[in-house]
Amino acid sequence: MKSLIVKRIIAVGIALSAWELLPRLGIIDPLFIPPLSQVVVTINGLLESGELPTHTLISLQRAFSGLTAAVLVGIPLGLLLGGWFPRLQQGVEPLMELFAQANPVILAHIIIFFLGIGEGAKIFIIGWLCIWPITFSTIAGIRDVEAQLVKAARSFGLGRGSLFFRIVLPAAAPAIFTGLRLSAGYAFIMLIASEMMGASSGLGWLVVQSQESYHVQRIFAGAVVITALAVITDLLLKLLERRTVIWTNTGELDICDTHEPKRVNLYQEEAP
């Protein structure tokens, strides 16, 4: 486990050093890719001027509103379609696939026509893309619940409702988490897309504005902050996953994980 952390630190270190050194050595034109240290200085300046905290807060609000809306709609929708109306689900599946592929950015004009140019449209654009991974993974999670588990639970004489909430839902939780993490990633991608269209605040707007004035350091500063937010969000979700879905070992933390997987082999079969 220790060596894994070392490997990971080395990999990140090499990438960051290359970012610093290549522009400085003139191998890459610093006009296009400024060295890391300049970007850090720019981030620091934006922090001090108060611009960065303001825009970050606004962007976070939008991303999480969209994601929350997707969770509030996606999970119940998945539960209904996967659990209660499987035949309806089979029928509407192609339609849902179509919806999932419909890029809200292309339809932005129509969305803005209905919802205006304010927050509603942005949250809708983010939420629209985030709903589908959550819904699909919830449906898949329910469909793939081990038949033996349901059989065992039914043998206790459980009614349909308790069977669903006590067995099927917890058994589907790992899959639901997978969808949730996928959606959280989408939320940050769509956040920037939505802020690039008719916004006057947010990190996406900061990047677009810097592009227009060809302020390369600020473009990279914005990109670094957005990436960091997405990575931190994913880490927090992994942490939450590991706390809730204790029985799978998929919730491993990527960056600084010192946690040994708790798969103790208790092969002292006849010990007790």
Q: Where along the sequence are the contacts to other proteins (CB under 8 A)?
A: 82-87, 89, 142-160, 162-164, 167-168, 170-171, 173, 245-248, 262-267, 269-270, 272
| CB closer to other proteins out of 171 and 219 | 171
Give the shortest CB-252-to-other proteins separation in angstroms: 15
Cβ(235)–Cβ(181) under 8 Å? no
DSSP 150-170: HHHHHTTT--HHHIIIIIIHH
Give the shortest CB-262-to-other proteins separation in angstroms: 7
Cβ(183)–Cβ(67) under 8 Å? yes
Q: Name every residue whose Cβ is closer than 8 Å to that of residue 43 and which is 6 or more positions away in sequence.
A: 52, 221, 224, 225
| CB closer to other proteins out of 15 and 149 | 149
Give the shortest CB-137-to-other proteins separation in angstroms: 15
Q: Helix, strand, coil % (nearest 5) of the chain?
A: 75, 0, 25
Give the shortest CB-247-to-other proteins separation in angstroms: 4
| CB closer to other proteins out of 123 and 172 | 172
| CB closer to other proteins out of 95 and 147 | 147
Give the shortest CB-149-to-other proteins separation in angstroms: 5
Please count the residues of the chain.
272
| CB closer to other proteins out of 212 and 269 | 269
Q: Name every residue whose Cβ is closer than 8 Å to that of residue 111 and which is 6 or more positions away in sequence.
A: 104, 121, 124, 125
Give the shortest CB-182-to-other proteins separation in angstroms: 22
DSSP 217-230: HHHHHHHHHHHHHH
The gap from C-alpha 46 to its chain's centroid, in whole angstroms, comes to 26
| CB closer to other proteins out of 41 and 80 | 80
